[in-house]
Amino acid sequence: MLDRLFKKKDISVILAEPSENKEGLRRSLTATNLITLGIGAIVGTGIFVITGQAASMYAGPALTISFVISALGCVMAGLCYAEFAAMIPVSGGVYSYSYTTMGEVLAWFVGWILVLEYLFACSSVAVGWSGYMLSLLNEWGIHFPEQIAGATFDHLKDGSWVWTGKIINFPAVFIVAIVSAFLIGGIKQSALVNNVIVVIKVGVILLFIGFGLSYIDTSNWVPYIPENTGGYGNFGWTGILRGAAVVFYAYLGFDALSTAAGEARNPQKDMPKGILISLLICAVLYIGVTTVLTGIVNYKDLNVDAPIALAIDRAGEGLAWLSPFIKLGAIAGLSSVILVMMLGQSRIYYAISKDGLLPSIFSKVSPKHGVPHNATIFASIVTGLIAGLFPLHVLSELVSIGTLMAFTIVCISIVILRKTQPDLKRPFKTPLVPFVPLLGAAICIVQMVSLPWSTWERMIGWTILGFIIYFTYGIKHSKLNNK
């Protein structure tokens, strides 16, 4: 039994699979497409919200240092992802990597965690998109019916569930359906749509940085590192470290890029570029926004839901014209995150199904469009239902723990594979192994431990559900074990 559970997949077998499948996924993505997909996944509401709150509560103007520290932690995980994505350029991402290093049952666990991450990330971002869109429509004098503009259920602090009196969050369901339609139309079309969205949201961010520079009051940067007010994380250098932990989540999303490796034209060269360059660009954007934000508004005043909007108000009439563009940028930002997370979710279903651990219907590829259409339709239905029925705070809690677990497993897998298969061809190599991957894993573990117990309870429940599916269906239909 243990042999079946921990049987590993040979890397040569994984690499041969795409060529064996005449109706496999089409390799259409260029290096530029991969970079914009990475930016599309990373830059979401974090840059529009979290920068102000972290500066106000923890680091002050020195939040720029926090972003640098946090970026270094993500780059360590990113380097490990880059090595795997270049070495095993298939659509399963971390799931496929785990199958080669840890065996089937742990690969299933990782795949199930990735489903959790992409499903709930996509659903929560769709709910956020709905909020921004409804706000923008209200500004234009268009009032959406309340009955179809909010979650059906809510989860109270006492642990109980209540019916809100609303039918469904229709805008959230709508954006999921639209994104799904683009994805079914083909990866090339989806990449083009993402490119346009990324240009819009990066353009808005650059407008804020560029025009905001002339409104900076340098006295707001004094002191650059506010004095610690007592206790760990209350400004000072410990505040910078606490700020780094908070803004770490602003970089999440690049891991979804690894699931597109099976559709990259030249994955050995382009996957490392896509992962690392998108991370670098986002780090520069985050540092630029933080610099301008804390220069226009004193950090003590930035603990608001819309800090960039506050900065525009403080700048006066000179920047008032930029206000509607900020909401447009937020809507565009969220749209591309939904697209990339939905892409990742459908490719995970596809990869697990190809191994027999999920029904074969999910690994069917459209002959016309070259995409796993059944997996995409299923992902959109489940995501749309969850986004339409549940509020943001219930959905977002599970995203971080799933992502951090995936990061940790990738970092550890690099060390394992370097020891067990040192002679494998590696088009890209993570430097300073085992130092870089082990430090990356340690950073992620510290982040996971700091999450509330309620998040762990839900994680345990999700894991139990996953193993029920594996032991009642997956292990019986495993192609690796039934050869």
pLDDT, residue 186, reads 86
In this structure, is residue 417 part of a structural domain?
Answer: yes
In this structure, is residue 482 part of a structural domain?
Answer: no
Query: Which tokens in the block code for residue 376?
Result: 């995409």
In this structure, is residue 115 part of a structural domain?
Answer: yes
* For residue 108, pLDDT beyond 90: yes
Grade residue 35 by pLDDT with cuts at 50, 70 and 90.
very high
Q: What is the CATH number of the domain that holds 417?
A: 1.20.1740.10
Report residue 99 CA to chain centroid gap: 22
In this structure, is residue 331 part of a structural domain?
Answer: yes
3-class secondary-structure state, position 36: helix
> H-helix or E-strand containing 283?
helix 267-296
Grade residue 32 by pLDDT with cuts at 50, 70 and 90.
very high
Region of poorest pLDDT, from 104-118, 152-166, 180-194, 231-245: 152-166
Grade residue 274 by pLDDT with cuts at 50, 70 and 90.
very high
In this structure, is residue 208 part of a structural domain?
Answer: yes
In this structure, is residue 240 part of a structural domain?
Answer: yes
In this structure, is residue 483 part of a structural domain?
Answer: no
Cβ(251)–Cβ(47) below 8 Å: no
Task: Provide φ and ψ at 328, rounded to 5°.
Answer: -60, -40
Nearest Cα to 12, choosing from 78, 80, 90, 109?
A: 90
pLDDT, residue 397, reads 62
Angstrom distance (rounded) from CA 234 to CA 5 = 47
* For residue 47, pLDDT beyond 70: yes
Cβ(132)–Cβ(334) below 8 Å: yes
Cα–Cα separations (whole angstroms), residue 64 to 73, 113, 240, 393: 15, 32, 9, 27
Beta strands in 118-173 (DSSP E): 153-155, 161-163
Domain count for the chain, please give it. Answer: 1
Angstrom distance (rounded) from CA 352 to CA 337 = 23
pLDDT digits (tens, 9 = 90+) for 78-97: 999 999 888 888 878 888 88
Cβ(474)–Cβ(358) below 8 Å: yes
Report residue 321 CA to chain centroid gap: 31
Angstrom distance (rounded) from CA 409 to CA 145 = 45
Q: Please indicate whether residue 449 or residue 477 has the higher confidence score (pLDDT).
A: 477
Cβ(88)–Cβ(428) below 8 Å: no
Range of the domain at 273: 2-477
Share of the chain above pLDDT 90, in %: 36
Q: Please indicate whether residue 255 or residue 49 has the higher confidence score (pLDDT).
A: 255
